[in-house]
Structure 1
Amino acid sequence: MSKQLGQDYEQQAEMFLVEQGIKILARNFYCKGGELDLIGLDQDCLVFIEVKYRQSQNFGHPNEFISTQKQQRLYRCAQNFLLKNPVYQSHAMRFDVIAFLSAQANPDWTKNAFGSW
């Protein structure tokens, strides 16, 4: 997937989440070893959001492409975000996935996709 296409889907995910009442705090938060696509607040819950896209489900749902190693990188980036933004350390937290399939009008939103920590 091209970088531009990825950015387009991240922007679509952001618009979708804002419509659902999520306040976006950060986009493309980079840290050593990884990146968090979006970070938002769902009321008082801090949400780290991974955006995935697939043209088809022939090889599985986009959520299935988040390996254990990828989850560990996301956890480390979330910890890095919290170190840089201690005001959010007392919030409940979760990891969500916004998954796009080419033929869908709206994305699949999986809340707490791979457990909280």
Structure 2
Amino acid sequence: MTEPADLGKSVERYALQHLREAGLSTLAQNWSCRFGEIDLIMLEQDTVVFVEVRYRKNNYFGGALDSIDQLKRDKLIKTTEYFFNENPQWLEHPCRFDVITAHPSHAQTFTLDWIQDAFES
């Protein structure tokens, strides 16, 4: 695995830990299908939460949130639809799309910003 991929996995693990500490439970990690991948699928009470995790070392070319353009949102929505087709037990649950952005902090940790209900389908 390359260094950027290792860093991405570290950020995802850090985000997952943060969400678990906030009381969410894990349904899936790196769930993928032919349409794309969803980093984390969590459950908060009865709400299915689809989480996109983004890391940026700096904001020179836009921040982590800026990297989730309309094309990426459309891809996430299509992947989510496929998830529900494959997992119909979750169809009756409310859902939302969250984004966790991360940037480097002290002592090889990350500062996270959790944007709940970041966009609508």
TM-score, with structure 1 as normaliser: 0.92
Question: Could you tell me how far apart the structure 1 residues matched to 2:61 and 2:46 are?
Answer: 36
How many residues are treated as equivalent by the alignment?
A: 116
Gap regions ≥5 residues in structure 1: none
1:48 alignment partner, SS class? strand
Identity of aligned residues (%): 37
The residue that corresponds to 2:93 in the other structure is 91
The residue that corresponds to 1:114 in the other structure is 119
Amino acid at match of 1:49: V
Q: Residue by residue, what CA displacement relative to the aligned partner does 1:65-108 show, whole Å, maximum 9, x if unpaired? A: 10101001100111111111111001111000010011375300
TM-score, with structure 2 as normaliser: 0.89
Question: Could you tell me how far apart the structure 2 residues matched to 1:93 and 1:35 are?
Answer: 17
- Selected match of 1:70 from 65, 69, 72: 72
Question: Could you tell me how far apart the structure 1 residues matched to 2:61 and 2:104 are?
Answer: 14
Shift of 1:49: 0.2
Query: Segments of 4+ in structure 1 off by > 6 A?
Result: none
Gap regions ≥5 residues in structure 2: none
Of structures 1 and 2, the larger Rg is shown by 2
The residue that corresponds to 2:39 in the other structure is 37
Question: Could you tell me how far apart the structure 2 residues matched to 1:109 and 1:77 are?
Answer: 21
